[in-house]
Structure 1
Amino acid sequence: MKKRGFEIVTSYQDKEIQLPVRATKQAAGYDFEAAEDIIVPSVIKQWMQNKHDLTHVLKPTLVPTGIKAYMQEDEFLQLANRSSNPLKRFLMMGNGVGIIDADYYENPNNEGHIMFQYVNFGLTDQVIKKGERIGQGIFLPFLKADDDQAEATRTGGFGSSGRK
């Protein structure tokens, strides 16, 4: 029985996607790569151009990985930014830290496709190229409260458990 790992989502099977790997044997995180070229627009540039309409300026850009993750029911995959992204490229994760739950795998909305959310607070747009390392994933266990009563099953895809 498989315990935890990565697979390529169906729609990216023929696009030469690399499964995440650890850079060194003591690294905690598995390096994720971009599955396609993406432009992360500059928030400052957008603000300068659209001062009258700021509703979309801070909206994160989703960077697809072409990857899904499977794990045990009491584990999750934590997505973290590369330490060099804010320093060198002005890229921050829009959600701070991403959480991939075990039941996200194979969900009917998107097959569990993992995407990183980025906001560019620099002066110029940033181009992320296919194959470029964009973030890390770390498998972690979690604990439940004594009186935990979560019984629902996932019905939503990215960013949703199906609950309001």
Structure 2
Amino acid sequence: MPSPSLTVEIKLIDPRLRDWGLPAYQTPMAAALDLFACIDADLVLDPGAPAQLIPSGFALHMADAHLAALVLPRSGLGHRKGLVLGNAVGLIDADFTDQLLISAWNRNPPGGPSITIQPGERIAQLMFVPVLRPQLTEVTAFSRPSERQGGFGSTGG
């Protein structure tokens, strides 16, 4: 498991992040870093339109097979405005070194409000997570019994 003092390299691509703020935890106990929309002009997302890729302004390199990062929506933007991520959650592998892009989508129904994203607006968040990489072993029968049997939703919930 990664240590709390783990270091991840960050490469600045958009110098405006120095003014807006480099990705940082907003409170001492925040689980994720805020990501900014590094765009040159307001971006209008209409309801029902395809998701748009928005640059984050930086690249990172974790270089640790036991670490990954998740691009997550900001809760308030989804609840108040209808802004969600086009792929729900983005997974960043430890060996990915290109600029992080944020897939943004307006989930409002047709005829609903458009969403305007402004340059420098915090639109998503990045959370680092430990990765377990178990070795898969093919078997003809499982070595331990389970009370769970059945298909999708088999617990009745």
Q: Using structure 1 for the length normalisation, give the TM-score.
A: 0.68
User: Which residue of the partner structure matches residue 145 of structure 2?
Assistant: none
**Partner Cα separation in structure 2 for residue 70 and residue 94 of structure 1:** 23
Q: Using structure 2 for the length normalisation, give the TM-score.
A: 0.71
SS at match of 1:103: coil
Name the aligned partner's letter for residue 23 of structure 2. P
User: Which residue of the partner structure matches residue 4 of structure 1?
Assistant: 8
**Partner Cα separation in structure 2 for residue 39 and residue 28 of structure 1:** 28
CA shift, 1:3, in A, is 2.7
Is 1:146 matched with 2:135?
yes
Q: In structure 2, do the counterparts of structure 1 residues 73 and 85 end up closer, same or farther at CA, with 3 Å as the change threshold? A: same
User: Which residue of the partner structure matches residue 47 of structure 2?
Assistant: 43
- In terms of Rg, which structure is larger? 2
Does the CA-based 8 Å contact 1:40-1:61 persist in structure 2?
no
User: Which residue of the partner structure matches residue 84 of structure 1?
Assistant: 76
Is 1:120 matched with 2:106?
yes
Listed as ranges, the gaps of 5+ residues in structure 2 are: 1-5, 138-157
CA shift, 1:117, in A, is 0.8
Does the CA-based 8 Å contact 1:31-1:137 persist in structure 2?
yes
CA shift, 1:121, in A, is 2.1
SS at match of 1:86: helix
CA shift, 1:16, in A, is 4.4
- Could you report, residue by residue, the CA deviation over 1:76-95 in whole angstroms, capped at 9, with x for unpaired residues? 11110000111111111111
Is 1:30 matched with 2:33?
yes
**Partner Cα separation in structure 2 for residue 19 and residue 7 of structure 1:** 11
Identity, % of aligned positions? 26
RMSD over aligned CA atoms reads 2.0
Listed as ranges, the gaps of 5+ residues in structure 1 are: 45-56, 106-111, 149-164
User: Which residue of the partner structure matches residue 59 of structure 2?
Assistant: 68
Larger helix fraction of residues = 1
- Could you report, residue by residue, the CA deviation over 1:79-127 in whole angstroms, capped at 9, with x for unpaired residues? 100001111111111111111111111xxxxxx1111111102223211
Name the aligned partner's letter for residue 119 of structure 1. W
